[in-house]
Amino acid sequence: MLTIRNLHKIYGKYHALSGLDMNVADGALYGFVGPNGAGKTTTIKIMTGLLGAEEGSVEIDGTDALGEPDALKGQIGYVPDFFGVYDNLTVGEYMSFFASCYRIDGLVARKRYTALLEQVGLEDKLDFYVDGLSRGMKQRLCLARALIHDPAILILDEPTSGLDPRTRFEFKEILEELKCAGKTIIISSHVLSELSEMCTDIGIIDQGRMVLEGNIGDILSRVNASNPLVISVYSNMEQAMAVLRRHPCVQTISMREKDICVRFAGDSADEAMLLQQLIDAGVLVNGFVREKGSLESVFMQLTDHEEERVVTSYEAESGLYS
């Protein structure tokens, strides 16, 4: 479990992080998102021991990681957004060099990097020069390099930016395999649709604070539950309106073209019973659906600064969408 509490980072007079909290469970694939300048890279640099913080703590399994940077580096593998590769090395030499940085040498090193190169699909590139690799291959090589010391946590800063859709898809598959193998993975990205497909959890950072964090499924079902029910009625509209006006969960009724749009405070069992009541009242219903929310809509709502709203956990924010 990686836990960040009350993290503050000040550059000159600028507060890049203002009391950030973050909770990443073991085995999670955690999407770390936020608008430009929100503080993602700063947080990642502190997590990886590359930058100090003015205040706050980073704990890995209860151990103070900021106080023990060497232990921290042993537990974390980091793929930066800008990856420098040494062009005059072959892939094998490159991996061997990074293995030696972790004091992994000889046959053990060779065995380990051969397995990693196989995992990222570069097993046939061992004797190729690094500068001859495509951008996608270089990215996979950096991933293999970050795993050389078998870290429990892998952190990737904008890993798929600049990759074409196929390469991006292949990279995503490798991350999913790593997750299945038990790694905890934190990915910072702007591509929200991609994160919602592959991540188990999400943290949205804005102006140096966590504004929403939790399991993606839970967040989306909460968003969906606060979205309207859209009901299409083929005939007997008056009976439909009478049933809806009487229903205790119905908060507002409006028309969207020919459909009825209902703010409905009930759960899925209440929805099913409402549908049954409409049918029993002789209403012919040809559409009955809870409008779907998306991570994009959550992100836009939370990072809209017209109205300042800051919360530290999803639970604390339960009234936001009602």
Ligand X SMILES: Nc1ncnc2c1ncn2[C@@H]1O[C@H](COP(=O)(O)OP(=O)(O)OP(=O)(O)O)[C@@H](O)[C@H]1O
Q: What residue ranges bind ligand X (CB under 6 A)?
A: 11, 14, 16, 34, 36-42
- Complex with ligand X: residue 77 or 80, whichever CB lies closer: 80
| Beta carbon of residue 19, minimum distance to ligand X (angstroms, whole number) | 14
Q: How far is the CB of 207 from ligand X (least distance, A)?
A: 9
Which residue type occupies 119? Q
Q: What H or E segment, with its residue span, contains residue 15?
A: strand 14-24
Give 41 or 236: the residue with its C-beta nearer to ligand X: 41
- The DSSP line for 36-98 is TTSSHHHHHHHHTTSS--SEEEEEETTEETTT-HHHHHHHEEEE-SS----TTSBHHHHHHHH
Sign of the dihedral through C-alpha 298, 186, 182, 143: positive
| Residue closer to ligand X (CB basis): 84 or 248 | 84
Q: Would you say 34 or 203 has its CB closer to ligand X?
A: 34
Shortest CB 154 distance to ligand X, Å: 18
CA-CA distance, 206 to 210, in Å (whole number)? Answer: 6
Q: How far is the CB of 175 from ligand X (least distance, A)?
A: 20
Instruction: Give 231's contacts (C-beta < 8 A, 6+ positions apart).
Output: 240, 259, 260, 261, 262, 278, 285, 287, 288
- Residue 37 C-beta: closest distance to ligand X, Å: 4
Token pair, residue 148, equals: 């050389």
- 37/67 with CB nearer ligand X: 37
